[in-house]
């Protein structure tokens, strides 16, 4: 069976040209460019909680980085460095180095795409848990925050929502998707696309931003709370896939659209005066950017359906301590 150090050496030690010092010492050394602030974020994925224990290791490696890249996107930061902490069950290491190889492949594949260097981490034995910390750079004072929304701002969403939650409902046998729907929705769940380029381009355009990881209502709710404002959104203005359209307005589909997790799209607000620039950015990035509502003074989030009736949901989003 490989030792902790064999694992680190074999699978997680790669050149880190953007760091002063990478894996192998007691700490990594990095040097942010001058005039930049460091944006730091951690996300932990626990087997049985965030993914099925038998999940495809390559996709898991990809996703464990992708969810962190999404946090950088939401801040408008450029991701640069990452650390990776792994708790691995003994039997998995003993019998199956294939798992480690595939996991590393998925992780480094996406890291390479975004020029992110793995500079450190920790490897230990325990129930399968993956924790990635990402460090990014953003120009001093320019990061997109949750607290910048102002009454009158438009509310925008990138891409479309709900497919990952629909795919999860299928995997949990709460719904049975057809093969073409599975093909459309499953990638959203297992290989989400973090909006890294878009996030950086939103600096100077967006007043506030968040990534939709726990469900639109919950995450937009965070913007409202941080900004001390209210909002009204129209459910029918939210872009969704052809598969999702097949199931709306069933309750489960509405729940996936409004409160499903794992979308990793960006929700941001911007003054009306920026509409033209945001539409141009959408064309330039080839990412749909859709206005779904408006920030108002006050408190609370009002969701209207096509007929103008209020939509109410039992749960607003994913909360680990409430499920």
Minimum gap (Å) between residue 7 Cβ and ligand ADP: 7
Looking at beta carbons only, is 14 or 294 nearer to ligand ADP?
14
Residue 317 binds which entry of Mg ion, ligand ADP, none, CB below 5-8 Å type-dependent: none
Minimum gap (Å) between residue 107 Cβ and ligand ADP: 9
Looking at beta carbons only, is 124 or 228 nearer to ligand ADP?
124
Residue 118 binds which entry of Mg ion, ligand ADP, none, CB below 5-8 Å type-dependent: ligand ADP
Angle between helices 97-113 and 4-12 in degrees, nearest 10: 40
- Residues of this chain that interact with ligand ADP (CB under 6 A) are 8, 12, 23-26, 84, 86, 118, 120-123
Compute the chain's Rg from CA coordinates: 20
Minimum gap (Å) between residue 122 Cβ and ligand ADP: 5
Minimum gap (Å) between residue 51 Cβ and ligand ADP: 17
Looking at beta carbons only, is 24 or 300 nearer to Mg ion?
24
- What SS3 class is residue 120? strand
Minimum gap (Å) between residue 23 Cβ and ligand ADP: 4
Which residues on adjacent β-strands are paired with residue 136?
39, 79
Residue 24 binds which entry of Mg ion, ligand ADP, none, CB below 5-8 Å type-dependent: ligand ADP
CA triplet 160, 165, 168: central angle to 5 degrees?
Answer: 140
- What SS3 class is residue 234? strand
Q: Are 83 and 25 in contact (CB under 8 A)?
A: no
Residue 314 binds which entry of Mg ion, ligand ADP, none, CB below 5-8 Å type-dependent: none
- What SS3 class is residue 78? strand
Residue nearest to Mg ion (CB): 122
Q: Show contacts with Mg ion in window 69-128 (CB under 5 A).
A: 122
Which residues on adjacent β-strands are paired with residue 36?
139
Minimum gap (Å) between residue 7 Cβ and Mg ion: 12
Minimum gap (Å) between residue 28 Cβ and ligand ADP: 6
Residue 159 binds which entry of Mg ion, ligand ADP, none, CB below 5-8 Å type-dependent: none
Q: Nearest 10 degrees: CA dihedral of 258, 68, 98, 7?
A: -150
| CA atoms of 187 and 185, how far apart (whole Å) | 6
Residue 279 binds which entry of Mg ion, ligand ADP, none, CB below 5-8 Å type-dependent: none
Burial class (CB in 10 A: 0-12, 13-18, 19+), 2: middle
Q: Show contacts with Mg ion in window 171-210 (CB under 5 A).
A: none
Looking at beta carbons only, is 79 or 221 nearer to ligand ADP?
79
Burial class (CB in 10 A: 0-12, 13-18, 19+), 171: middle
* CB neighbourhood size of 117 (10 A): 22
Site size toward Mg ion (CB under 5 A) is 1
Binding site for Mg ion (CB under 5 A): 122
């Amino acid at each position: 069976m490989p030792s902790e150090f064999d694992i680190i050496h074999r699978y997680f030690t790669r050149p880190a040209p953007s760091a002063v010092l990478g894996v192998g010492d007691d700490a990594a050394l990095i040097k942010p460019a001058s005039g930049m602030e460091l944006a730091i974020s951690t996300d932990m994925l626990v087997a049985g909680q965030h993914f099925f224990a038998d999940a495809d290791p390559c996709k898991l490696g990809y996703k464990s980085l992708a969810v962190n890249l999404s946090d950088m996107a939401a801040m408008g930061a450029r991701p640069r460095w990452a650390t990776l902490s792994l708790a691995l069950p003994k039997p998995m290491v003993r019998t199956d180095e294939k798992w480690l190889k595939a996991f590393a492949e998925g992780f480094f594949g996406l890291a390479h795409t975004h020029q992110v260097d793995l500079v450190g981490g920790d490897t230990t034995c325990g129930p399968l848990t993956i924790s990635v910390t990402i460090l990014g750079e953003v120009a001093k004072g320019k990061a997109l925050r949750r607290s910048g929304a102002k009454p009158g701002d438009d509310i925008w969403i990138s891409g479309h929502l709900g497919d990952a939650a629909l795919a999860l409902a299928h995997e949990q046998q709460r719904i049975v998707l057809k093969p073409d729907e599975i093909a459309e929705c499953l990638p959203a769940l297992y290989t989400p696309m973090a909006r890294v380029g878009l996030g950086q381009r939103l600096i100077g355009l967006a007043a506030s931003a968040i990534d939709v990881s726990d469900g639109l209502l919950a995450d937009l709710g965070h913007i409202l709370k941080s900004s001390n404002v209210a909002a009204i959104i129209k459910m029918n203005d939210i872009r969704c896939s052809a598969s999702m359209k097949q199931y709306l307005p069933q309750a489960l589909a509405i729940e996936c659209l409004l409160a499903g997790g794992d979308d990793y799209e960006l929700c941001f607000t911007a003054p009306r005066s920026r509409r033209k620039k945001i539409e141009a950015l959408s064309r330039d990035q080839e990412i749909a950017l859709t206005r779904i509502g408006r920030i108002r003074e006050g408190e609370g989030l009002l969701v209207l359906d096509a007929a103008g009736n209020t939509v109410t949901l039992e749960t607003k989003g994913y909360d680990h301590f409430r499920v």
